Chain A
Amino acid sequence: MVKVGVIGLQGDVEEHIWAAKKALENLGVTGDVIWLKKPEGLENISAIIIPGGESTTISRLMVKNGLFEPVKKLGEEGLPIMGTCAGLIMLSKEVIGATPEQRFLELLDVKVNRNAYGRQVDSFEAPIKLAFSDEPFPGVFIRAPRIVELLSERVKPIAWLGDRIVGVEGDNIIGLEFHPELTDDTRVHEYFLGKAL
């Protein structure tokens, strides 16, 4: 029985809960997917997802709600954590274009550039290549951050747009520029939740 928590402070939380539930079903695993707002929700947790949203808001509310330190500690201890878009920013070691008050979990050895793709009119959809599947995946990039540098050998690419890296994995941590939760395709969630089994 696995327990997956989606950090539910701001952003597309429901979409991730839906995708994680469907992924568990496809994996044939029984489990709960919860809306995680408070530290108490972290009890017996098997995996955490940090959704898309505004990274400045999520950062502020994670600190305010007492989730920041415990989630960081769980990540350091090896708990699987996946972040999409704003979630990737929250997980990154270095962030270009952050506001002075923003804090990051620093669990993933990458440098990201926060608004590198531009504004909403530059948001786009494009097929991407995954390391763990032969079929292309529908990539949805919304005011996406860009992974500009891998900072250690531990970090491996798992998704590419053309020949550019758009998703990475560092041991237990996955960070994605795109939003698999906005598609009906749960392959990425299945791959991630495989780490929690």
Chain B
Amino acid sequence: MGKLDVIQAKGTERLKRGFAKMVKGGVIMDVTNAEQARIAEEAGAVSVMALHRVPADIRKAGGVARMAPIEKIQEIMDAVTIPVMAKVRIGHVAEAKILEALGVDMIDESEVLTPSDPYFHIDKREFTVPFVCGARNLGEAVRRIWEGAAMIRTKGEAGTGNIVEAVRHVRLVAEGIRQIQAMTDDQVYAVAEKFAEPYLRLSLNVKEIAGLPQRVLDNEPIYGHYTYREIVDGLYKILLEIKKLGRLPVVNFAAGGVATPADAALMMQMGMDGVFVGSGIFKSSNPPKMARAIVEAVNHWDEPDVLVEISKEIGEPMRGQDIEELEVRLEERGV
């Protein structure tokens, strides 16, 4: 129907955050091939995360975990009609550019993969494609939002089937927001200064090696072209928005350890907008049933009678792991 002669804007903040709003109340499932992707879509997943290995297998395999092979992601994009997400290593701008060019719908800059940059996350404002990032606390969440993340998820502890770390991260963010709301604007500014500290590490490292005073200059760019003061002001603006809204200004999902319908319902009860399920589906004994049950649990989180029915005959959930026994804590990557 007719040609298009109007000016279009792409990659705006509204479009990026808007995309995330469209997955609210939904379940995003990790898949490693076309068949799993179809199972997820049929079960009612709002999106799939295309991976080479699910986090539980990444843990087992060890070594360096990188962006999934392109053919793998393409295979999954071709198999389903729902949006497809894929992960890049923290700070790996080139992997992100490749996935953007490939056409994935959202990029997860993820601690589940081996970090590529010891200092910084990607400046996500430079991209058309939206990003989701993990956060353990309010500081991490606010930094990622300032860098342009359109969606936040808890880090939890991926691949463990243990919900305790996700609960910890939900609580830390929620309590952080509550405390911000009780503060004066001056106190909030002081928090913004504290939250900006990780951006100073590279500059201070270099000064330390050179035997220079541990002081960053006012006009010194410390992250991309941004000075410390510009970063503080940016974080402060986001904190004021959070203070006003009483929540993060972007969609906020649970991730890292969701293994049962009850886990998913718990996350919704704690105010999450939806859940990511990684190893929890395809490491369970009956993936199609578990997938459907978790989708329904997110929908009926506040109806215990319905949750009883949903939780019946879904087979064995994935085997879980105690956090204390882990050799690697993925959540500690990328502050």
Task: Report B196-236 CB contacts with A as 1/0, cut-off 8 Å.
Answer: 00000000000000000000000000000000000000000
State whether B6 touches A126 (Cβ < 8 A): yes
Residue A120 is within 8 A (CB to CB) of chain B in the complex:
yes
How distant is the Cα of A186 from the Cα of B157 in the complex, in angstroms? 42
How distant is the Cα of A85 from the Cα of B130 in the complex, in angstroms? 19
Q: Which A residues are CB-close (under 8 A) to B45?
A: 57
Q: Which A residues are CB-close (under 8 A) to B50?
A: none
Stretch at the interface among A23-31, A71-79, A156-164: A156-164
Q: How large is the interface on B (under 10, 10 to 19, 20 to 34, 35 or more residues)?
A: 35 or more
Residue A99 is within 8 A (CB to CB) of chain B in the complex:
yes
Task: Report A46-79 CB contacts with B as 1/0, cut-off 8 Å.
Answer: 0000001110110011001100000000000000
State whether B26 touches A122 (Cβ < 8 A): no
Tell me the B1-46 residues at the A interface (CB within 8 Å). 1-12, 14-15, 18-19, 21-26, 41-42, 44-46
Residue A86 is within 8 A (CB to CB) of chain B in the complex:
yes
- The count of residues in chain A whose C-beta lies closer than 8 Å to any C-beta of chain B is 49
Report the minimum CB–CB distance from B52 to chain A (whole Å).
21
Task: Report B291-329 CB contacts with A as 1/0, cut-off 8 Å.
Answer: 000011001000000000000000000000000000000
- Chain B residue, CB-CB nearest to A120: B105
Q: Which B residues are CB-close (under 8 A) to A142?
A: 15, 18-19, 22
If the complex has contacts A12-B24, A120-B129, A142-B19, are A56 and B41 also in contact, measured as CB distance less than 8 A?
A: yes
- Chain A residue, CB-CB nearest to B298: A10
How distant is the Cα of A179 from the Cα of B81 in the complex, in angstroms? 20
State whether B299 touches A10 (Cβ < 8 A): yes
Report the minimum CB–CB distance from A87 to chain B (whole Å).
11
Residue B83 is within 8 A (CB to CB) of chain A in the complex:
yes
Residue A1 is within 8 A (CB to CB) of chain B in the complex:
no
Q: Which A residues are CB-close (under 8 A) to B288?
A: none
Report the minimum CB–CB distance from B44 to chain A (whole Å).
4
Q: Which B residues are CB-close (under 8 A) to A143?
A: 19, 22, 83, 105
Report the minimum CB–CB distance from B249 to chain A (whole Å).
13
State whether A125 touches B14 (Cβ < 8 A): yes
Task: Report B48-74 CB contacts with A as 1/0, cut-off 8 Å.
Answer: 000000000000000000000000000
Partner of A53, one of B1, B8, B46, B105: B46
State whether A148 touches B1 (Cβ < 8 A): yes
How distant is the Cα of A99 from the Cα of B94 in the complex, in angstroms? 34
Residue A182 is within 8 A (CB to CB) of chain B in the complex:
yes
State whether A121 touches B19 (Cβ < 8 A): no
State whether B25 touches A125 (Cβ < 8 A): no
Most central of B7, B15, B104 by chain A CB within 10 Å: B15
State whether A164 touches B4 (Cβ < 8 A): yes
State whether B83 touches A120 (Cβ < 8 A): yes
State whether A122 touches B10 (Cβ < 8 A): yes
State whether A11 touches B295 (Cβ < 8 A): no
Q: Which B residues are CB-close (under 8 A) to A56?
A: 41, 44, 81-82
How distant is the Cα of A37 from the Cα of B298 in the complex, in angstroms? 12
How distant is the Cα of A9 from the Cα of B299 in the complex, in angstroms? 6
Binding site for A on B (CB under 8 A): 1-12, 14-15, 18-19, 21-26, 41-42, 44-47, 81-83, 100, 103-106, 128-130, 295-296, 299
Q: Which 3 A-B pairs have the closest CB atoms?
A: A120-B105, A163-B2, A124-B8
Provide 26 A-B residue pairs closer than 8 Å at the C-beta atoms, listed in order of the A residue: A10-B26, A12-B18, A12-B22, A13-B24, A37-B299, A52-B21, A53-B22, A54-B22, A54-B82, A65-B299, A98-B81, A99-B41, A119-B104, A121-B10, A121-B103, A121-B129, A123-B19, A124-B15, A125-B8, A126-B8, A142-B22, A143-B19, A162-B3, A162-B5, A163-B1, A164-B1
Binding site for B on A (CB under 8 A): 8-15, 37, 52-54, 56-57, 60-61, 64-65, 85-86, 97-99, 101, 114-115, 118-128, 140, 142-143, 147-148, 161-165, 179, 182
